[in-house]
Structures are given as C-alpha cells and as structure tokens.
Copies of this chain bind each other. A is one copy, B any other.
Amino acid sequence: MHAPQAQLIALDWGTSSLRAYLLGAQATVIEQRHLPWGLMQLPERGNARAFEQAFAAVCGAWLSAAPALPVIAAGMIGSAQGWREAPYLALPVDVAQISQQLTRIETSLGKVIHVIPGLIEHSLLPNVIRGEETQVIGALHGRSPTVPLNLLIGLPGTHSKWVRVESRHDACRLRPWPAWITHFDTFMTGEVYAALRHHTILGRTMSSETLTDDAAFARGLEVMRAGVTQAGLLSTLFSCRTLGLTGALRPEAQADYLSGLLIGHELAGLQALSSLPPATSPNPLPIVLAGNAALCRRYQRALTLYGYAPAEIAEQAAAGGLWQVAQQAGLIDLRLRPTHSTDKGSSHD
C-alpha cells in the first residue's frame, strides 16, 4: 500500500475563510488546510496580489510536488469583490450544467484556477449564492438517480442558505431524474451573530467564548418560535441584555441564548416564506444539512426542538462537490489519461 495519489486541489474560498483540500481518487481527502483568509479578511476588493499570495501560501507546496494538479474553486472568490467574477447562472438550474460554466483565473505563475459559478434567483428581492451550489452537489452525490428528488438542503454559516432541490423530467436527457435547484433563501445569521457579539453592547456582558449551553440555546429558540413574540428581531435581541440585567440569564449563557434567538428567527422566516412546511405537515420535506459539522448539529437540534424529524447531515459536502464538478468538467479525466497530458485545455475553458 502507498498513499493515494493527489488528483485535484479544491478550494472552498468564502467570505470568512479559505478551506483548501488536496484530493485523491473518489474525493479522498489527502490533506486539508483551513485559514481565516476569507474575503472580509483580505485587503480591499479587486486586489489580485492578496489573492495570489494567499493561494501561493496555501497551495504552493502541493503544486511544487505535483505541478500539473488541476485546481478548482468555489465561493466568494468568484464574486465581484473576489479575485475574478464568475457570472451567475439564473434559476432554475440543472445542477449537471454547473460544471459546464467554469471561469478561468490565470495566476501570475501560469497556473489556472477553474472557478465554479454562483446562482441567482430573480425575484422582487433577488437572491444569490456562491459556494453553496457546490456543497449541494456534494450533498446530492450517492443518491439513486432512479428516485425523484424533493429536498430542502440547509447550509448554515456566515450567510445561511436553504436550497430547494427537485427532480424535473427532462425528455432530452438520458438520466431519468436530473436534479434542479428551483429556489433558495438567504439568512445573514452567522455574520449578524458575529457583528452583534463583537460590536454591540450585547457582547459586553457575555463571559463565554464558546457555545456550550444547550438549555440557553433552547430558550432563545423558544422565544422566537412563531407566536411567542411579535416584536421582531431588533426588539427581541434586547432581551439578551435585559434578562442578564435582571439575573435571569447568566453571562456564560448569553451567547447561546443569542444564537438561539437568531437561528429561531431564521427558521421562523423560512416557515413564513413557506420554504419550510410546518412541522405538523402531512407531507414533510426531507431536510439535509451540510457545512461546518458543529453548526449542522446546532441546526439539527433547533429543527428537532421545533418539532421536525432529525435532519440528515451530509459529510464533506464542499470537498465532495468540488470533486464532482471537476470530474464532470473533465479536469480530472485529463490527468488520469497521461497519453493526453499535452492537451492543456478542455472545451469549456
């Protein structure tokens, strides 16, 4: 036995962090790196040098060892504030088409990074995702193509996304049940939590840096449960302070309580939008969660407290999705056929 051969460098490069994966056959993670080099942490927009430096620092050793490795990336790196804009695909989108629309970034050292497009939903208030479309592809992998899909995929994080995936019959395609993304919603839950915690008076009385108080989390969720208060988030948030002032919420419980308020507001919003049917619905929508494992468990607990069946958690959806897209785009196939190694491009590039 020997170590699996590296076949792909896959980057999940978002607003708050950069995750880099060195992947072998079947998306096996050989090595991964997680750095706080998201777009919000890097210097001003459009500064290619900062992206170049971050890329070289994270992937330089991998590329020195194997210069021909293909590189694929998803996330905000392809936004207007990112390294180069990868134009959005408009909903509804057949997920199999995403790999046919990659944008190339040529680095100063001549390496090409293939960037996966985000998705846009045009409506009264338009909605966009970047990176989560790739996690959706990862979360869908392994499902039987003969069973029609009807799922809600939750991707909690800086900006939580809830993506509706449905099968649509397509007479022109051989595969019986292509997966379509037909709708999604965004909630700025993670970013607002951080802003409230670190840049408002609410954080002043919080004593714990970690989220560990399940009872306080449940209490926050209960307050936001539909019908308990009609005041809206800007008002309800203040209870984090007033319950503390009156001795009804210990300093070490306040961060969890705030998290419960925000996630509860998010789930109540999803229900109000009818994106999430009521827990009592006779036709429940299966829910799959993907992303940070601890956060997925947190949302799983919240959904259970709101009366839903335990949501499935998809593991390594980002790395898996990046692999799937690279494979569908022919990036990996090229390397697997060494006789074609002089063929440097593929049609979609």
> Among the listed stretches A61-69, A181-189, A206-214, which one makes contact with chain B, having 4 or more residues with CB under 8 Å of it?
A181-189
Instruction: Name the distance in Å between A82's Cβ and chain B's nearest Cβ.
Output: 11
In the complex, are the beta carbons of A120 and B191 less than 8 A apart?
no
In the complex, are the beta carbons of A243 and B125 less than 8 A apart?
yes
Q: Taking the complex as formed, is A204 at the interface, i.e. its CB lies under 8 A from any CB of chain B?
A: yes
Q: Taking the complex as formed, is A127 at the interface, i.e. its CB lies under 8 A from any CB of chain B?
A: yes
Instruction: Name the distance in Å between A32's Cβ and chain B's nearest Cβ.
Output: 25
In the complex, are the beta carbons of A234 and B200 less than 8 A apart?
no
In the complex, are the beta carbons of A187 and B272 less than 8 A apart?
no
Q: Taking the complex as formed, is A28 at the interface, i.e. its CB lies under 8 A from any CB of chain B?
A: no
Alpha-carbon separation in the docked complex, A268 to B200 (Å): 23
Alpha-carbon separation in the docked complex, A124 to B227 (Å): 13
Q: How many residues of A contact B (CB 8 A)?
A: 56
In the complex, are the beta carbons of B205 and A234 less than 8 A apart?
no
Interface string of A112-136 (1 = CB under 8 A from B): 0000000010101111100000000
In the complex, are the beta carbons of B188 and A234 less than 8 A apart?
yes
Q: Give the residue of B126, B233, B238 whose beta carbon is less than 8 angstroms from that of A246.
A: B126
Most buried by B among A40, A126, A128: A126
Given contacts A191-B200, A196-B192, contact A269 B235 (CB under 8 A): yes
In the complex, are the beta carbons of A234 and B269 less than 8 A apart?
yes
Chain B neighbourhood of A187, CB < 8 A:
232, 234-235, 238
List, sorted by A's number, 28 A–B pairs whose CB atoms are closer than 8 Å: A39-B201, A81-B201, A81-B204, A120-B246, A122-B246, A125-B223, A125-B236, A125-B238, A125-B242, A126-B239, A126-B246, A127-B238, A127-B242, A128-B241, A128-B242, A159-B238, A185-B231, A187-B234, A187-B238, A188-B200, A188-B237, A191-B200, A195-B200, A232-B232, A232-B233, A234-B265, A235-B269, A235-B273
